[in-house]
A and B are shown apart, each in its own frame.
Chain A
């Protein structure tokens, strides 16, 4: 089941758990737009310890460069897109 749909605004959790995490620090606490759902994948945070766990949905999320970097001086349409596991994303109310 997909938790987010294309076009939806999402916030990346601003958390710093120990261990292997695939959500880069520069995206944590940032707001972006869901572009698409890629399907469910092994959760790297669990599998990296040699353990098994439920698969997690992964979404392609677009972050405007001007929303990531206060001093970004390029065009406002420039963006970074990253693939984020669903448990790192929150809906913006």
Chain B
């Protein structure tokens, strides 16, 4: 019964001690999450619980801000703010638009 996030004491390799700066996209997600939080829609504890609820596979596969994006998506659906259908449609539209403008580097699929 150890959650995917509860890693204290587990065996791991060396620490990559050189910090890398946030990408433009990561900053956008950070700002979006902060803005949604400032509206009182979700609290920090709910955010953490939602990240843990992604499960081991998603938690260990996704990067930090990908996990935040995934949980924001789930939370907005669960709170009735957005629907899965409109999110799917917008994802398809954004993908087309980024492909057109050359900003889409690789076609990643959802796990």
Q: Does A touch B (CB under 8 Å) in the complex?
A: yes
The reply to whether B46 and A50 contact each other, CB–CB distance below 8 Å, is yes
Count of chain A residues with a beta carbon within 8 Å of a chain B beta carbon: 17
Which residues of chain B from 4 to 56 have any CB-CB distance to chain A below 8 Å in the complex?
A: 6, 8-9, 43, 45-46, 48-49, 52
The reply to whether A25 and B6 contact each other, CB–CB distance below 8 Å, is yes
- Chain B interface mostly: loop
Range class of the B interface residue count? 10 to 19
- Chain A interface mostly: loop
The reply to whether A20 and B49 contact each other, CB–CB distance below 8 Å, is yes
B63: chain A residues at CB < 8 Å are none
The reply to whether B9 and A48 contact each other, CB–CB distance below 8 Å, is no
Nearest-Cβ distance from residue A92 to partner chain B, whole angstroms: 22
The reply to whether A44 and B45 contact each other, CB–CB distance below 8 Å, is yes
The reply to whether A47 and B43 contact each other, CB–CB distance below 8 Å, is yes
Question: B residues touching A (Cβ–Cβ < 8 Å)?
Answer: 1-3, 6, 8-9, 43, 45-46, 48-49, 52
